[in-house]
Amino acid sequence: MSQEALQAAQERHRRGDLAGAIAAYEAILADEPARGDVWHLRALAEHQSRRLDESWASVNRALQEGGQQAATLLLAGMIAQDRGDTGTAEQTFARAALARPGWAPPLANRGQLLLELGRADEALEVLRAAGAIEPANPRIWNNTALALLHLNRVDDAQRAFEHTLTLAPLATAHFNLARVFNMRNEIARAFERAQTAVRIDPKLTDAWLLLGDLYRKQRDVDGMRRSFVTAVQVAPRHARALNSYAEFLASVGEVREAREQYRRIEAQDSSNLVAALGANLTLPQVYRDAADVEAWRREFEDGLAQLESVRERFNPPTPRDAMEQARWSNFYLAYQGRDDRELQSRYGDFVSSVVQPRFPPGAPVRPRGARERIRVGFCSHFFFNCTAGRYFSSWITRLDTSRFEPYVYYTNEWVADDTRTIAAAAAKFRHLPSRSFDLVARHILDDELDILVYPELGMHGQTFAMAAWRLAPVQVAGWGHPVTTGLPNIDYFVSCTAMEPEGAQAHYREKLVTLPGLGTHYGLPPVAEAGDRAAFQLPADANLYLVPQSLFKIHPDNDELLARVIEADPRARLVVFAAHYDAINTAFHRRLSAAFGPRGLSVDDRVIFLPYMTHGEYLRVNASCDVMLDTLHWSGGNTSLDAIASGLPIVTHPGRFMRGRQSAAMLRMAGVDELVVEDSDAYVALATVLGNDQARRSEISLRLKERRNTLFSRDEPIRALEQFLTGVATR
């Protein structure tokens, strides 16, 4: 082999002509197949070309011909990692470190891998060893800071990221500081760092996506659009950027545009499952009318059939890819007011067929041997101050710890008061933000649970997909999203006895289990003092009818009912809460106008749209209103409990499914059955009588307050939950 030929090949490699370099290396190896150094170079070029199987074969030949050289072992570890063989990658990085003591790169790479595997404590130790060798290496410092962040040592992580920036102006360090400030809800500082990151590196896609999410928190549609569009422009084949832009379009009410964007992604890559799901299953938040609901439902059914017919297209190579691609939940389907068991079961089978074969290898899950305490895991993305946090924290905090060992897996970055309360009550609290869900699943498997509980399947796409795996001998869904999951690996659905209709088992694929009362120990909500209407620009002389549900929960079947109440009471004003985005508000306004117009009513004159507000502000609005109008098909949950606690009368017409019967059950438990009506005429009559009869309102309000202890701060549901958990664990 001439030295000139090798130099020419390397020059092609340096210029980025990877195909030419590989061909040149092949020509050299055809004459001298025992050249380990050339096999190494060929493996490097193939790896850079993402020809992973070929590069793996070449790097192993390099090790065979050239000996266990540290640099070749390092490359082999990197290739193994990219092929998804993390076990081999970790071992090979360790061998590279032994082959060349005092060399930082294999330690740095092993530390980064351990971090990605969720083993942050081990990663921190290895990265600190690498940093001791190269104390001025900014990338090692950045990853050390990430390890600290994953260990919830947020202050230490912030200091480490800031030290990284004293060594080099790394865009990734600014981006990670933006993440820290976002976790703390310091939005202005998060913006500053994220914007600095994209100024330094305009192609840092993750920073553009974070900016989009930060603009989302500010309800700034233009800022969101700019950020997500830029992310797509700088990385036109970046799957998460492409899908995030489509998700943005759907979230702001541009549903047809979202479907078209998903179709464009699908045309580029037919194996992109997220795009296929979006193109076929995306639903609007607000429908034009009842006929529009049916049209979209047919479209959903057709889309599901299309996905089932091309199931073999979706063959993600690794568990991580499977989880990323299957991150979808049919959240808005449940608001159509229909029986979703068949569609959810078909979807559950579909997503399971994609996810289950990509499960990481390991021992099959079997019932555990006898333990002193039953080990129950709780996995959620919503253990903070929200509906799920309020409803289900007591399932953890009030369990009898002499009999149960609660393990908690929390996947959200946001840590709130409810989060800290839950963490303090857990035998083991694993905070796993921004982790791939195959790694979350591995943590759950390693903990050898007896039972795994998902409180609200259907509200978070990746959690829903993860529930398709069998991670514990018994798997349970709570009613945080009160519709069957349809997943074959969810054994039980836990609901409330009083809220379920007769024959409710037919609505669930899982075995239905019901608990007494509210199904949880729900503390008495704070109660605002008498409302100050002027503070919210509410008219002092009107009868205010509160409709507190999000607009996507208000089915078109409610429109006539609301219009009839307003028509029957000349002093009536509806009080509703606007969505975050104008397109959704416009669609709802147009639909409500179609019901109001024929009655000579004006939505602008008779409906008050209030902006987003804190829970404390909402309670003051609650105290300012006269009557709460519960919605058909999807009744109040937290909003009804807030109303009952404050003594606000609720008029409700229970529906066919549990999700439309919660308010009725609460009122009956509180002994105020007369607020539960059986038809629309009775609904309108009772609502308008209450709106105009202050004495009757006051009498009902007093009874609600006197009887509210039948609902709040009750431990009977927790004792029943313990009995259920004990029974299924022993079986």
Q: Are 667 and 650 in contact (CB under 8 A)?
A: yes
Cα–Cα distance measured from residue 519 to residue 718, given in angstroms and rounded to the nearest whole number:
7
For 192-207, write each residue's pLDDT tens digit.
999 999 999 999 999 9
Evaluate if residue 363 carries a pLDDT over 70: no
- CA–CA separation, 297 and 316 (whole Å): 28
The C-alpha atoms of residue 465 and residue 462 are separated, in whole angstroms, by 5
515-574 pLDDT tens trace: 999 999 999 988 887 778 999 999 999 999 999 999 999 999 999 999 999 999 999 999
Rounded to 5 degrees, φ, ψ at 409 are: -120, 110
Share of the chain above pLDDT 70, in %: 98
Which pLDDT does position 529 carry in this prediction? 78
Residue 87's Cβ-count burial label (10 Å; 0-12, 13-18, 19+) is: exposed
The confidence band for 362, taking pLDDT boundaries of 50, 70 and 90, is low
Strand order in the sheet with 374-380: 428-431, 404-410, 374-380, 451-454, 474-477, 492-496, 511-515
364 pLDDT above the threshold of 90: no
Instruction: Say if residue 313's pLDDT is above 60.
Output: yes
Question: Which of 124-128, 380-384, 439-443, 724-728 has the least mean pLDDT?
Answer: 439-443
3-class secondary structure, 264? helix
**Which pLDDT score, from 0 to 100, does residue 154 have?**
87
DSSP 8-state class, residue 118? T
Question: Model confidence over 21-43: pLDDT tens digits?
Answer: 889 888 888 888 888 899 999 99
Longest Cα–Cα distance of the chain, Å, equals 103
Query: Which helix (H) or strand (E) element contains residue 474?
Result: strand 474-477
**For residue 1, is pLDDT > 60?**
no
Tokens of 397: 């905090």
pLDDT score at 715: 96
Enter the pTM of the model.
0.86
Average pLDDT, the chain: 93
Which pLDDT score is estimated for 211?
97
Residue 424's CB: how many other CB atoms inside 10 A?
Answer: 10
Name the residue with tokens 């857990």: 426
Strand order, beta sheet including 627-629: 607-610, 572-577, 543-547, 627-629, 650-651
pLDDT at residue 450, as a whole number? 95
- CA dihedral sign of residues 406, 409, 415, 416: negative
- Residues with Cβ < 8 Å from 214, sequence gap 6 or more? 178, 182, 187, 190, 191, 194
pLDDT at residue number 250: 95
Supply the DSSP string of 344-388, one letter for each residue: HHHHHHHHHHHHGGGPPP-PPP------SSEEEEEEES--SSSHH
Mean pLDDT of 12-16: 90
Instruction: Tell which residue, 147, 27, 55, has the closest CA to residue 435.
Output: 147
Tokens 């299924």 label which residue? 728
pLDDT in tens, 244-281: 999 999 999 999 999 999 999 999 888 889 999 999 99
| Angle formed at CA 225 by CA 223 and CA 229, multiple of 5 degrees | 120
Please give the Cα distance from 392 to 379 (Å, whole number).
Answer: 11
Q: In angstroms, rounded to a whole number, what is the distance separating the alpha carbons of residues 381 and 642?
A: 24
3-class SS of residue 600 = coil
Structure tokens at 434: 């921004």
- In what helix (H) or strand (E) does residue 407 lie, and over which residues does it extend? strand 404-410
